[in-house]
Structures are given as C-alpha cells and as structure tokens.
Structure 1
Amino acid sequence: MLNLSIGRPPFGGSTWQVVTIATGWLVLLFVGAYLITPASVLTLVMADLAVTEATAAALVSTPQVAATVIGIPVGIYLDRIESRAAVPAAASILLAGSVGDWFAASGGRVSLLIATRLLAGVGMFVLWVVSIDVASSTFPPDRRATATSVIISGYPAGYALGQLGAPRLADIVGWPGVFPLFGGAVLLTSLVFYVVVGRVSRFQTATDPMTRAEFGRVLRNRNVWAVVAVTILGYSLYMVFNSWMPTYITRRFGVSLAESGAFVALFPAVGILARPTGGWLSDTVFTQRRRPVFAASFVGATALAVAMFYSATIAVLVAMLVLAGAFIQLQIGLMYQSIQEFVDPTAAGTAVSLASVAGWLGSFVAPVVAGELVSITGTYAVLFVFAAGLGVVGALTVWQMAESGTPSASA
C-alpha cells in the first residue's frame, strides 16, 4: 500500500505535509460525524422507525461490523495497489451508502437502512486505513507516530461534531437527511485529500505488492499479534467506560441520562488532544520508543479505574473519568504506527487492517461482557473491577512485547 510516491519532489516541503495531515483529519472528522449520527438522534430514530433502543443503537455500530468482516481482505488489496487512487472510490461508496440511508430511513425500511450502513462501512474502512498510511509515510520515522496520532484525532472530533450538529441539522432537513449531508462532506474533503496527497513524496516507497510468503510472515510475527492484543485491550478499556458510564452515573448519583451523557461526552472528547500527545511523547520524549506510552496508558487507566470505584461525589468521578479518557487515548494512534514497524513496508496496509479489526472487535465485545458481569453480580461497581483487570492485562502484555521503534523490530 505504500506505493503512493508519484516521483516528484514535494511542493512547498513541510507546508504540503501539514496540509496533507489537515485534509486527512477533515476526512476522518466527517466520517466520524456520519457514523455517530444515529446515536445523536436516537429518540427520533426509535419513534419514526418504531424500533427498540437495541435496534436503533445497533445502527451506530453497523458500519464497524462491515469493517470487521472485510478488513483483512481490503487491507491485503490496498497493499497491492496505489492506495491514493482508492480515496475517491471509497468516499463515493460512503456517499452512496449515506444516500441509501436517507432513502431507507425516509421510507421506514429498517432492513434496507442496515444494508446501506453496511455499504458505507466499506468506504469508511478504506478511508481509515489510507489516512493512517498517508500520515505515517508523509513524515520521516522520528515524526510518524505524531502524524498518525494527529490524523486519527479527527475521528473523535467527528463524534463531537455529530453529537452536536446532527440534532440541529435534523431540525432543518429531518434526521434522515443528515446522513447524505455528512456523506457529501466526506466526498468533498476526500477529493481535496486526494489532490494534496499527490503533491508530497513518500518517505516509504515500496512498489512491489506483498507476496504470499510476506503475508505468511506477518501472520507468524508474534510482535504483530502482541500489538493486536494491546489494541483489543486498549479499545475494550475505552468502550467499557464510553458505553456504561452514563448508566452508572445515573444510577449512582440520580442525575438524568441527558446530564450523565453530557458528563461522559468529555471522555472521548479529550482524545482530540490526548491522541496526538501520545504520538508526540513517543516520537520526541521517548525517542521513537512506543512501549513507554503503552505502559503509561494502561497503568494510568488502571489506577484511575480504582479511584473511580471509591469516588463519593459526581464531581470527583467525572474528573477521574476525564483523566482516564486522556490516559487510555494516549495509545490510540500509536497502535497503528507500532504495528507497521513490525512488518515489511509492502505489508503496512495489512498490518493496519489487523490492528483496526482488533480495535473494533474489542469495541464490540467488551461492552457486552461488561453488561453480562453487571447482570450476574447485580452491581455496576463490577465495571471498575473489569476495567482495572483489562488495564492490568494490558500492562503485562506491554511488558512482554518487543519495542517496535528499534531497528530489529521487524525481525
């Protein structure tokens, strides 16, 4: 996937590099806004489609389901083509899915809405993988983790945009009309991204497609699977708090769900700063070492999970929650750079796809497991025990893994 170089020197040098990251950030901003739209208008979705909360909420994660299913084959395919060329096609697929969403939702066709969201998920995944690759290959090795972390911070920013903007847009165009608005924004920014990417040369310029033997080496690389494990655990920890804390705060302190949701919204929002900070710390403070940031992320989150368990006031709990969001998201972004450093450049797309699928898998499974634990024990306090356990296992995994930033990392 890293055969993006067009054989020309960069125009404007570092200026075009920054513009590349900025436009990629905007692409992921609108992708995130599109994906979260059903969650921000959930009551309208349930009323108009006459579906349960569970069905309405499932519409939020449907694109990620598609990404999980097609992730590895798409990653392999992207390693065999000039992935820059896939950007307009992927954005067009997402736009087609979003227009289909509008058509299906307007007609009350739930099955069709699920299908069109699945289609959009294919475009979403391609844009995600290509954005990460472009970020890491646009900058030299000592700045790649920072660049990757910055560009993917557009995703939580998109969640914030969707949560804030979708209800207001729904008042103007109706909630089904919000989907193609964000889908159109994805296409427009993707076209700009496509043009800008062509104006910078790549620091990694692998031109040969990944062979079957190289793919086998990826699958046999225990360091790759260590990053996969870290990614599953990191996203699991992230989603346990993200999905269950509104309910916990409501039950524990008697506030409304709307109020608790506003408090918990700070948890992902802090990632806009925390994700780039994690990359910068790894590149600059720790001189391209990745493990110290992974370790700090898990250890800090574990300590804060314990602190939240003993929090007696909502103010203290929310403060601890925001700090936990910052610690957990230090490593999100670093995951995708680290896994690329363990493989040959021709397999970078496959590696990023593995990490992406792992992250979405953790996002799906962890909230379900947490819910089962609450059901079995009859107390929401078990959430903090579960979160602390994930943090401890994550820290132990990091302790055992190799350092991807060293020259021998891909051996």
Structure 2
Amino acid sequence: MFDSESPDTGDSTGGSALQVATIAAGWLLLLFVGAYLITPASILTLVMADLGVTEATAAALVSMPQVAATVIGIPVGIYLDRVEARTVVPIAAAILFAGSVGDWFAASEAVVPLLIGSRLFAGVGMFILWVVSINVASSTFSPDRRATATSVIISGYPAGYALGQVATPRLAEVVGWPGVFPVFGGAVLLVSLGLYAAVGRVSRYRTPTEPMSAVGFKKVLRNRNVWLVVAVTFLGYSLYMVFNSWMPTYLTRQFGVSIAESGTFVALFPAVGILARPAGGWLSDTVLARRRRPVFAASFAGAMTLAVAMFYSTTVAVLVSLLVLAGVFIQLQIGLMYQSVQEFVDPSAAGTVVSIASVAGWLGSFVAPVVAGELVATAGTYGILFAFAVGLGAAGGLTVWRMAESGADSTPA
C-alpha cells in the first residue's frame, strides 16, 4: 500500500534546503496560528470594557478555537487521511482568516454571540493546519530525524503564544484591538502559501498510496499502543496546564507577588518550550537511537521531582527557577508524542491518530485546571496542586511503562 521509507522523488542537491524551507514555513504557520489564538488573553481588560462581558466570558473567547477542534477533531483527521494534505493547507488558512475577519466585525459591533461563532469557525482551520503541519514534518524527513522535525515544528506554537502576548497590545494601539485578529489571520494565510509551495517541491517519505479503509480504522481503534500514547498526551498536557493555569494564583496568594509579576514569572514556563520541545525530539532521534519511551519517562519523572521540590520552596526565586526547569522537563515530550503515535500505525492513518492525540491533549488542557480548582476548594490549600501534579506524573510514568517502543522499529503494529 505504501512505501514506508523511500521518498516519493529522488533527492536533489537542494533537497536539504527544501526540507529546511518546509519546516521553517510550518513553524511560521504555527507561530501565527498561536498568536491568533492567544490574542484576547493579553487584552482582556479592553475586551471586557468594550463588549461589556465578564472575565469568564472574555476568557472563554481564548479557548473557543480549541473547543471547536475538540468537537470536530477526529472526523477531520479521518478526512485528512483521504486527501492530499498539501491541498488543504491554503483552504484551512482561508477558513481561519475568514474567522478572523468575522472576529473583527463582531468585536467592532460588540456582537458577542457572533464573536464566539467566528472564533469557533476559525478553530476548524486551526485544527487542520495543526494536524497537517505535524504530518508534513514527519513525512518530509527520514526515520532518524522525524521526531526532531516534528518537535521543531511544534515549537512554533508556544512561540506564537509569546508573540501574541507581546505584540497584541502594541498592535491594538495602531489598529484597535478588534483589528488584531485579521492581522494574525492574514499572516497565517500568507505563510500557508509558502508551506503549500515548499511541500510541493520537497521529497516525501511515508506517504500512502491508498486512503485509510474501514478495516484500517478498526485496526487503529484496536491498537493498544495508540491508546497508551493518547493517554500519555492527555496526562502530559494536564500536567502542563496545572502549572500554567494555577501557578500565577499560587505565587500571588502564597508569596504576595503582584498579579503582573506572577504573570511575568509564569510566562517563562511555556516559553522554554521553544527550546525544550525540539530538544526532546533531538534526544530521542540522535542520543537515544530513535527510542521514545526514555524521553517520556524522564519528562514525567522530572516533573514529579520538581513538583515536590516546589512544594517545599520558601522563596520566590527558588520556586520560579524550579518552575522553569519543570517547564523544560514537561515539554520535552510535547512534539515527540505526535511522532510516536504515528509510528504505531500505517501511514494512511497518520492524520487520524494525530487528531485523536490532539483532541486528548486539548481535553487534558481543559479538564486538569478545573479538577485542580475543585481540589483546592475542597482541601482549602494550594499545596494540593503539587500533590495533583505528582499524581499525574505517576500515572504518566505507569502508562509509559506499559507502552511499547515505537521509534526503534518503525513497522506499524
């Protein structure tokens, strides 16, 4: 059905340059996607004042695209396995851009339901671009470099969050805050054309010659290791969001740090992912000879150890240092998980399993902060956050122990 290791076309002298161009275009694409998604977060006070909404409603605007992705993720993944991924890149970017224009109109006219709807609509394009970028990174490189490529392209996403947080207030001064949405949406559309062109010229590996069949889908659903990677993804993102969402409050309540200062300190936690995510892929590919499980295990073990150390920290400087280090360990596996799950299936199911893992990751991102909040309310202490983090890390480690190795043998299970 497919050629698992040979490129579609012969390598040329410019092959490496085209591979770099493809990854660079994909990275920039996810950079602007991330910036678009996080846009409301850094201007919540303006959003609340102009729209007359509560903090909860304003904050919900940030997560609307992810909500859409969670709902449509698996069907879209199945569809992407039946079409040429390259052809949907500009279409998906156009959907996101159309949603961003809708954001601008709705925000300018203060029509909140329309703004929610346009953000949901843009989420469809966001999810397609996310899955296609990961699959392109994987299929563009040979087996000994796939995890590195996937992890590098994934790092564009946290970089986009940083860009959005920094650039949005400044852009809002020039174009008004509703105008920031189509600025980033337009950048996504423009870069998508570059990715479309680059993918069309680069040699490809692991490309199926036939779409996934109903039998192939049933094999995916029965694949124990796929579901173990999905569990790892859920737990990894849960751990990531417990720290990301609750540490600003913990710093403020326990150490008397101002809201502005705590936000700045905690921003370092996701920011280190720009380096940590590619590092995890590189370690797996180069140092560990394509073994994935040691990186997953180290990520969970390191996070557990640092959670305990943070609980006993008595100074802000020590706590923030440990938090940054925890950000490194936790994010070593983000990116690698999307490569690992593909290695357990036929390439014709790559989009499907990446979509399933992505939905699991976003579910973890939604569920874990809520559970953490309930635990704090029940226990009456923020110390329970660290116990919860240790529990997530232990569950992740147990899941990794039960999982087979995927990278060392690229034959589908």
Q: Give the structure-1-normalised TM-score.
A: 0.98
Q: 2:94 aligns with which of 88, 92, 95?
A: 92
Q: CA deviation at 1:187?
A: 0.3
Provide the residue aligned with 2:212 in structure 1.
Answer: 210
> Which digits, 9 at most, give the CA deviation of each residue in 1:206-244, with x for residues without a partner?
120000000000000000000000000000000000011
Question: Within 5 A, what are the aligned runs for 1:297-376?
Answer: 297-376=299-378
CA contact (8 A) 1:8 1:200 kept: no
CA drift at 1:409: 5.8
Q: Following TM superposition, where does structure 1 have runs of at least 4 consecutive aligned residues deviating by more than 6 angstroms?
A: none
Q: Give a deviation string over 1:354-404, Cα, whole Å, max 9, x none.
A: 110010010000000001111111111111110111001101111111101
Determine the C-alpha separation between the residues in 2 that align with 1:145 and 1:187.
Answer: 26
Q: Which amino acid aligns with 1:226?
A: L
Distance 2:56 2:194 in 1: 37
Q: Which residue of 1 aligns with 2:256?
A: 254
Unaligned runs of 5+ in 2: none
Q: What is the deviation of 1:298? A: 0.1
- Counterpart for residue 266 of structure 2: 264
Match of 1:161 in 2: 163
Q: Which residue of structure 2 aligns with residue 17 of structure 1?
A: 19
Gap runs ≥5 in structure 1: none
How far apart in 2 are the matches of 1:303 and 1:23? 37
Note if contact 1:250-1:260 (Cα within 8 Å) is conserved in structure 2: yes
1:173 aligns with 2:175: yes
Match for residue 127 of structure 2? 125
2:399 aligns with 397
Partner Cα distance (1:25, 1:405) in 2: 23
Would the aligned equivalents of 1:402 and 1:409 in 2 still touch at CA under 8 Å? Answer: no
Q: Superposition pairs for residues 224-243 of structure 1, below 5 Å?
A: 224-243=226-245
Determine if contact 1:11/1:200 at 8 Å carries over to the other structure: no
Is the contact made by 1:10 and 1:200 (CA closer than 8 Å) also made in structure 2?
no
Q: Report the RMSD for the aligned CA atoms in angstroms.
A: 1.3
Q: Which amino acid aligns with 1:352?
A: V
Tell me, in whole angstroms, the C-alpha distance in 2 between the residues paired with 1:292 and 1:150: 19
Asked whether the 8 Å contact 1:271–1:325 carries over to 2, the reply is: yes
Task: Kindly provide the CA deviation profile for residues 82-125 of structure 1, in whole angstroms up to 9, marking residues without a partner as x.
Answer: 01000000000000000000000111111110100000000000
The total of aligned residue pairs comes to 409
Q: 1:59 aligns with which of 61, 67, 72?
A: 61
Give the one of 262, 274, 277 matched to 1:275. 277
| Secondary structure of 2:48's aligned partner | helix
SS of equivalent to 1:380: coil
Residue 47 of structure 2 corresponds to: 45
Distance 1:199 1:148 in 2: 19
- Distance, in Å, in 2 between the alignment partners of 1:125 and 1:6 is 26
Question: CA separation in 2, counterparts of 1:10 and 1:258?
Answer: 52
Q: What letter is aligned with 1:132?
A: I
Give the match for residue 291 of structure 1: 293
CA distance in 1, matches of 2:24, 2:60: 31
Q: Which residue of 2 aligns with 1:71?
A: 73
Equivalent-residue separation in structure 2 for 1:353 and 1:201 (angstroms): 24
Q: Deviations over 1:43-102 (max 9, x none)?
A: 111111111111111111110000011000000000000010000000000000000000
Paired with 1:300 and 1:9, the residues of 2 have a C-alpha distance of: 40
Q: Distance in 2 between matches of 1:408 and 1:396?
A: 23
Per the alignment, residue 116 of structure 2 pairs with 114
Counterpart Cα distance in 2 of 1:138 and 1:410: 18
Residue identity matched to 1:395? G
Q: Give secondary structure in 1 for the equivalent of 2:404.
A: coil
Say whether the 8 Å CA contact 1:226–1:401 is kept in structure 2. Answer: yes
**Structure 2 CA distance for aligned equivalents of residues 107 and 82 of structure 1:** 39
Q: Which residue of 22, 27, 30 maps to 1:28?
A: 30
SS in structure 2 at match of 1:379: coil
Cα 1:10/1:79, change in 2 over 3 Å: farther
Q: CA deviation at 1:315?
A: 0.2
CA contact (8 A) 2:343 2:410 kept: no
3-state SS, counterpart of residue 295 of structure 1: helix
AA aligned opposite 2:180 = V
- How much has 1:408 moved relative to structure 2? 7.1
- What secondary structure is seen at the aligned counterpart in 2 of 1:265? helix
